[in-house]
Chains A and B, each alone.
Chain A
Amino acid sequence: MKKFLIKRILQLIPTLFVVAVIVFFITRMLPGDPAAVMLGPQASAEDVAAYSERLGLNDPLYQQFFDYLVNLLRFDFGNSLNYNQPVADLIMERFPNTIILAVSALTLAILIGVPAGILAAKKQNTFIDYIVTTLSLVGVSMPIFWLGVMLVLLFSVNLGWLPSTGMGSINDGLWPFFRHLILPSLALATIPMAEFARVIRSSMLETLSNDYIKAARSKGLKETIVIYKHALKNALTPLLTVMGLQFSKLLGGAVLTETIFSWPGMGLLIVNAIDRRDFVVVQGSVIFVAIIYVVINLIVDILYKVVNPKINLDDQHGGGS
C-alpha cells in the first residue's frame, strides 16, 4: 500500500506537467487580446498596450511559460487579470460551492440510481426492469441544459415553488439553503443517476449468475443477504469506476448547470474567465481540476482494494493469486 501511494504521488508530477503545458498553450491560442477584452471597446490602443505590458503579455512566450512554471512549482497560480485577486483565493472561494452541489447531486444519484439498478436486475425482464432501463436510457441521453431550463420553467416559473437561480447561504437557515440546492442538484444528478442504474444493473446481472450466488442461496441465507451482501459487493467494482469519473466531473465544475442556475462554483468561474480572456484563472482552475481528477482516481483505486481483496495494489500486474 505504501509503495503504491508513493508511486502514484510521483506519477502525479508528469501528469500535472503535461496538463500545465497544454493549458498554457491552449489559453494563449484563444482569439482576442486579454487586455483589450478587459479594458472594453472604448479603450485606446495606447491604454491596451500599456495594460498588456503591465500584465507581462508582451514578454516572449518562452519567458511567460518559464515564469508560469516557476510560479506553479511554488504553488502560485498567479493573480486574476480580471478580479485582481490571487487565483488560489478565487478557487478556494468557489470550490466549496461546487463541492456542495457535487456531493448533493452525487448523493441523489446514488440513492436513486443504485437501488433502481439493483431492483431492475433482481426483476430482470419484468415491467419494473423495463421502466428502469427506459428511464435510465432517457436519463443518460438527456441534454442537461434543456433539462435545467425545463426544471426552472416548471418549478420556478409555473409553480413558483423553488428559486430559479443563485445559492442560498447556510446562515439564513437550512430551508433557504436547500431550496436553492434542489433544482441544480436534480439537473446535475440526472445523468449520473441514469448511468449508475445502468452500470449496477448490468454488473448485478452478471454477478447474480455466478455460482457463489447459488451457493449462498443453498446455505439458506435470506434473499436480502444474498443480494445486498454477496452480489452487491462483487458488483461494485464497475460502479466505483463510473462513480469516480462522475464525481471528478462534478467537482471540476458543472459548467452548464452552474451557468443555468447561476451557481457560484468552479464551472461558472471557468466560463466567466474564458469569456474575459482571464487565462490566469483558466490555467489555475484547469490545473486544479486536473489535480482533483487524479486524486479521485487514486481514491477509487484504493476503494477497489477495499471491495475486492484479490487486488494487490503494490503489484503492477494486479494478480493476487
Chain B
Amino acid sequence: MSDPLLKVDNLHVEFKTGSIITRAVNGVTFELNEQENIGIVGESGSGKSVTATSILQLIPSPPAKVANGAIYFKGKNLLKLSSKEMRKIRGNEISMIFQDPSTSLNPVFTVGNQLIETIRAHKKVSKKQAKQKAISLLDLVGIPAPDKRIDMYPHEFSGGMRQRVMIAIALACDPEVLIADEPTTALDVTVQAQILNLMKELQERLGMSIIMITHDLGVVWETCDKLLVMYAGRVVESASVKDLYQQPLHPYTWGLLDSQISEGQNSAEPLASIPGSPPDLSYEIKGCPFVERCPYAQDICYQETPQLNETIQGHAVACHFQTSEHQLERKEREYSDGDAT
C-alpha cells in the first residue's frame, strides 16, 4: 500500500496561559489518503479545530504549542519546515475554509482582490491572468455573473455566496487537501445543503481530499468516507462512515448518535443529551476522559486510559470494554431520561 497523503502522528497540542497548561490535543493519529474524505466530529472543545489548524500551523503560538508528534504531508514533516516552506504549502497544496464566511473574508477588499492575491502568492502569473482565473473560480463555485461580482465587496454577498467565495479562494491553486472547519455551521439550513453538495461535486471533479470538521453528524454521513470521533483532545473512535453508522462502539459515539434528531421523532419528546460536560483539559486526566459521563463506567475506567485499538477490521475504539473478544451491550436511549430540560 502506498504512503498516505497526509499523516497526523501522535499529535499533542498545548495552550499555555500563565502557569496553566491546557492539553487541547492529546495524541491524535490519523491518515488521509488521496481523494479520501475524513470527518472529524466532536463537541466544542474536543480539539477537532485545533487538530485541523495545527496541520497548517495556524494556531496562535504562543500560547499554543505543538508539544509532541509529527504531521507528514507527502512524506515531509510539516512541523519541521521553515515558515517560508510552510507558506508555500498553505493555500497551495493544503487549503482551508472556515466556519463563518462573513468574518473570514476581509471586509475592506473586494473578493476579486482576495482571490487574485492567493493565486499570485503561489503562481507566477500576470494580474490579468490571475483575474481570469479568479473569474473562472467564481464561476466554478456557482456565483452568477462572476465577471461583475469579482469587483464587489464581501458585504455585498449573502452568507451562502460568501462561503462559495471562500471555497473559490481555497481552491484557487488546486490544493490536494482541503480542510473545512465547520463550513456550514454559520449558514441557513437550506444553504448548508447547497454548500455540502457543492463541496462534494467539486471534490469529485477536482479529486482532492477533504478533512471535514463538524459537530453535525448529518454533515459527515453525506460527505465523508471515514470518521474520527474526538473527545477531550483524543480520538475515541475511528471507522468508515458505514461501519460507524451501522455499528458504533464507543459509548460517547452512542450518545452523539442518540442526541441527533431522528426521522419521525415526536416533536413533544425531548431530545436526548449526554449528561455532564467534558473534563477540564488543564488538569492531567487519569483514566478514560469520558468516565464521568459514561453510564458503563467501571473501576478500571477511572484508573487506566484506554488506548485506541482496532477491534474489528478498520474500526478502532478507545474503550476498555470494546475489544475484539468482548463487547458492551448498548442500552437504548440511555441518556434521554431526566436530564433533558
- Return the CB mask of B163-190 against A: 1 if under 8 Å, else 0: 0001001001000000000000000000
Contact of B106 among A212, A218, A320 (CB under 8 A): A212
A220 contacts B92, CB within 8 Å? yes
Give the residue of A211, A219, A233 whose beta carbon is less than 8 angstroms from that of B117. Answer: A219
A50 lies within 8 A of chain B by Cβ: no
**Chain A contacts of B53 at CB under 8 A?**
214
B109 / chain A contacts, CB cutoff of 8 Å: 229-230, 233
Interface contact A308-B107, CB-CB below 8 Å: yes
Residues of B within 8 A of A229 (CB): 109, 117
CB distance from B43 to the nearest CB of A (A): 21
Which residue of B88, B100, B109, B122 has the most chain A CB atoms within 10 A of its CB atom?
B109
Q: How many residues does chain A have at the interface if contact means C-beta atoms less than 8 Å apart?
A: 24
Q: A215 near B155 (CB under 8 angstroms)?
A: no
Flag if A220 contacts B88 (CB, 8 Å): yes
A158 at the interface (CB under 8 A from B): no
* Chain B contact residue count (CB 8 A cutoff): 32
Q: Which residues of A contact B251 (CB under 8 A)?
A: none
Expressed in whole angstroms, the Cα–Cα distance for A229 and B100 within the complex equals 21
Chain B residues contacting A230 (CB-CB under 8 Å) are 106, 109
CB < 8 Å A-B pair total: 82
**B95 contacts which chain A residues (CB < 8 A)?**
218-219
Flag whether B78 is at the interface (Cβ < 8 A).
no
Chain B positions within 8 Å of A307 at CB level: 108
Interface flag for A262 (CB, 8 Å): no
Within 8 A of B (CB), among A210-258: 210-212, 214-223, 225, 229-230, 233-234
Contact yes or no, B121 A221, CB < 8 A: yes
Per-position 1/0 for A297-308, Cβ under 8 A of B: 000000000011
Q: State whether the Cβ of B297 lies closer than 8 Å to any Cβ in chain A.
A: no
Task: Check if A309 is an interface residue, CB within 8 A of chain B.
Answer: yes
Query: Most B CB atoms within 10 A — which of A212, A217, A219, A307?
Result: A219
CA distance A309 to B98 in the complex (A): 23
Bound-complex Cα distance A207 to B327 (A): 51
CA distance A311 to B182 in the complex (A): 30
Q: Taking A220-B121, A310-B107 as contacts, is the C-beta distance between A215 and B98 under 8 angstroms?
A: yes
Contact bitstring A185-227, B, C-beta under 8 A = 1, else 0: 0000000000000000000000000111011111111110100
Q: Which residues of A contact B91 (CB under 8 A)?
A: 218-221
Q: Considering only CB atoms, which chain B residue lies closest to A208 in the complex? A: B60
Question: In chain A, residues 258-317, which have Cβ atoms closer than 8 Å to a Cβ of chain B?
Answer: 307-310
Contact A234 B117 (CB under 8 A): no
Could you pull out 17 A-B pairs where Cβ atoms are within 8 angstroms?
Answer: A210-B103, A211-B99, A218-B56, A218-B96, A219-B118, A220-B87, A220-B88, A220-B91, A220-B118, A220-B122, A222-B121, A225-B121, A230-B109, A234-B108, A309-B107, A309-B108, A310-B155
A interface with B by C-beta (< 8 Å): 210-212, 214-223, 225, 229-230, 233-234, 307-310, 320-321
A-B CB proximity, top 7 nearest = A220-B91, A219-B91, A220-B90, A211-B103, A215-B104, A212-B106, A321-B155
Extra contacts, 12 of them, besides A218-B98, A222-B87 (Cβ < 8 A), are A212-B103, A215-B104, A215-B166, A217-B58, A218-B96, A219-B172, A220-B122, A221-B121, A222-B121, A233-B108, A234-B108, A309-B153
